[in-house]
Structure 1
Amino acid sequence: MSPGRNDQTAQSILSAAVSSIGSVGISRTTMENVANLAGIGVATVYRRFNRKDNLVQQAIRYEAEQLLKTVEQQVQGLSTVEEALTEGFVAFLREAHRRPLIRGIGDGNVVVGLPMIAQGGGMVIEIGREFAANIIAGFQAGGQLPEFDPKPIAEIFARVGHSVLLAPDGLISFDDPYTAGRVVRECLMPAIAAQAAAAGGPQGGAGGAAGGATGGTAAGGAQ
């Protein structure tokens, strides 16, 4: 059972579930303590989410969507695809690190069992891919990039971000926006430039992407 997004009671339950899972983990989260955190009866929780695993799945998606909304707000108004993707990637890592449930998707203390790790990670990848693809599509609609399928590049964006969540001790760090920004400038932007050139679109769109890949300094990477 998946209640509608306009169901305020369901929103309260999901918020409470996110808080509980992030604090004590899935195994110690119960329908009863979620009900207590939400300030409602446990029967109401069961009416909206008939099983704990359903509640957990919906809570992961809910928190990932909240993360996406926050990141989208931070990239509004940026004038180039490089700026938007770089700031978006940096903001994604920063916000993910601040959210215990998202940060803990690969942590056995939060997510128990490989199926749930795969499922939670799949949701994060799906939402990250949608975010990056929408950014690219927006610049295509504005004539700054020619038409090509943005989803493969967006998939790379999402999977790199997800890998940082699973293994945060590598060279790409939550607290190093410059290094995180280099991933976009040096890896994703050349791919976008190549796609733009192959699409044979307007010179300004392809040239802008290529120039951003080699010489631009994005807002997120420079901080």
Structure 2
Amino acid sequence: MHTKATLFERVSAPDSGVLERLDADTLSQRIVTGAFDEIATHGWQRMTMHNVAKRSGLGRATVYRRFPSKDDLLEAVVLSEMRKYLAANAVARVGLSHEQDRIAESAAFAVEYLRAHPLLNRMLETEPETLVPSLTSSALIGFAREFIAGMWRQEIHGDEPITAERAQHLKAVAEIHVRLTLSFLVSQDSAIPLATGEDARTFARRYLAPLLTA
């Protein structure tokens, strides 16, 4: 099935029930962890449900009861990793009161976290034809955009109501951030210096922060 659709097309978050099932089911968490390790080691194409079961210390029947196919399992892996990234990104900005500082820290965290991510690095190295189209899927971009826009709205405006125009602006800037991050992840050859977290902070303060306050 993965040859007919990008890996993230089936992700329907933020209203997907996958994360809720993971939170409530420790066996599912073990399976997802096993799948992550298997993909990071051998790649998506070579991952088998049998090997995932072995890594999880569970029987294949248990794996298939919770995830009937590789696509179902991958959906859970993607959502789990995305949630970890977004949650950790939010923590990295705790204690920063100025919008520009929060955006700068978010950009620095993204560069350092994603470039060191074992699963992404493995697939970019061995299966770019599978991963790259998936990183630009509307499901993935939409999930990250809505999460970031909602986070910014709370950080900047709190519980105060905002206009529809302002809400749309936050979503637009959030999507720009998401698309830029994914672009730099896929193709690191750039005239923009982003080799270090401090490079990312400088770029964010100079180019990204003004968009949010425009």
Q: TM-score range by the shorter chain?
A: 0.7 to 0.9
Which position in structure 2 is the counterpart of 1:82?
A: 100
The structure with higher relative contact order (CA 8 Å, sep 6+) is 2
Asked if the contact 2:41/2:122 (under 8 Å) is kept, the reply is no
The count of corresponding residues between Structure 1 and Structure 2 is 190
The equivalences for 1:133-172 within 5 A come to 133-142=149-158, 148-149=166-167, 150-172=170-192
The alpha carbon displacement at 1:191 in A equals 1.7
Identity percentage over the alignment?
A: 27
1:41 is aligned to: 59
In structure 1, what residue type is equivalent to 2:153? A
The 1:23/1:38 distance shift into structure 2, 3 A limit, reads same
Name the SS of the counterpart of 1:4 in structure 2.
Answer: helix
- Post-superposition offset of 1:111: 5.5
1:118 aligned partner: 133
Distance apart, 1:68 and its partner CA: 1.6
2:157 maps to amino acid = A
Aligned CA distance change for structure 1 residues 110 and 121 (closer, same or farther; 3 Å) = same
Q: Which amino acid in the other structure matches residue 54 of structure 1?
A: D
Q: Which deviations, in whole Å up to 9, do the C-alpha atoms of 1:60-103 show, x marking residues without a partner?
A: 22112112222221111211111111101110121112212234
After superposition, the CA RMSD in angstroms is 2.6
Deviation at 1:155, TM superposition (A): 0.4
Change (3 A) 1:104 1:159: farther
Which runs of 5 or more structure 2 residues have no equivalent in the other structure?
A: 1-16
**TM value normalised by structure 2:** 0.77
Match of 2:126 in 1: 109
> Structure 1: which 5+ residue stretches go unaligned?
195-223
Q: Highest CA radius of gyration, 1 or 2?
A: 1
Match of 1:211 in 2: none
Q: State how 1:1-223 maps to structure 2 within 5 Å.
A: 2=18, 4-5=21-22, 6-104=24-122, 107=124, 109-110=126-127, 113=130, 117-122=132-137, 124-142=140-158, 148-149=166-167, 150-172=170-192, 175-194=195-214
Residues 97 and 174 of structure 1 are in contact (CA less than 8 Å); yes or no, is this contact kept in structure 2? no
